[in-house]
């Protein structure tokens, strides 16, 4: 039985950006995660061991969001690498890192970087 596990709207206050003001003042970020998964075993067993542990995904994302970076691309790649290295069996997923009100010289609600692995 194929399905998806999604964690959407993981909110963080972080200090990512190239400008000094972004590093000192910080900003709001969201991270979204989506991965295809065979949910048959978990649906039948009702055991956490048979599925992807959401709290592990969140913990990895939170740890990487706490490390300041200049670029969203770098943050997203770090998170993706850690997910692949730390969660056994995880192979395919989408990860989106979004920055609220990026300093682009005009009105812009969000800047986003999406990684597909």
Mind listing the pLDDT tens digit for each residue in 40-86?
A: 999 999 999 999 999 999 999 999 999 999 999 999 999 999 999 99
- Per CATH, the architecture of 2-103 is what? 2-Layer Sandwich (3.30)
- Average pLDDT score over residue span 88-101: 95
Identify how many contiguous H helices and E strands the chain contains and give both numbers: 4, 4
Give the per-residue pLDDT at 100.
97
Helices (H), 1-117: 20-25, 40-45, 54-65, 72-86
| Residue 1 confidence (pLDDT) above 90 | no
Per the confidence metrics, is the pTM higher than 0.85? Answer: yes
pLDDT grade for 36, boundaries at 50, 70 and 90: very high
Average of per-residue pLDDT values in the chain: 96
What is the distance between the alpha carbons of residues 43 and 38, in angstroms, rounded to a whole number?
9
Other Cβ atoms less than 10 A from the Cβ of 98: the count is: 19
């Amino acid at each position: 039985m194929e399905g998806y596990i999604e964690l959407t709207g993981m909110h963080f206050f972080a200090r990512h950006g190239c400008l000094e003001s972004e590093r000192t003042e910080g900003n709001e970020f969201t991270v979204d995660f989506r991965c295809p998964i065979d949910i048959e075993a978990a649906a039948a067993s009702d055991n956490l061991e048979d599925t992807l542990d959401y709290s592990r995904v969140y913990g990895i994302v939170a740890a990487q969001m706490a490390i300041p970076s200049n670029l969203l691309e770098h943050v997203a790649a770090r998170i993706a690498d850690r997910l692949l290295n730390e969660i056994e069996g995880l192979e395919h997923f989408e990860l989106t890192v979004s920055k609220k009100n990026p300093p682009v010289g005009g009105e812009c609600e969000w800047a986003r970087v999406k990684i597909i692995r």
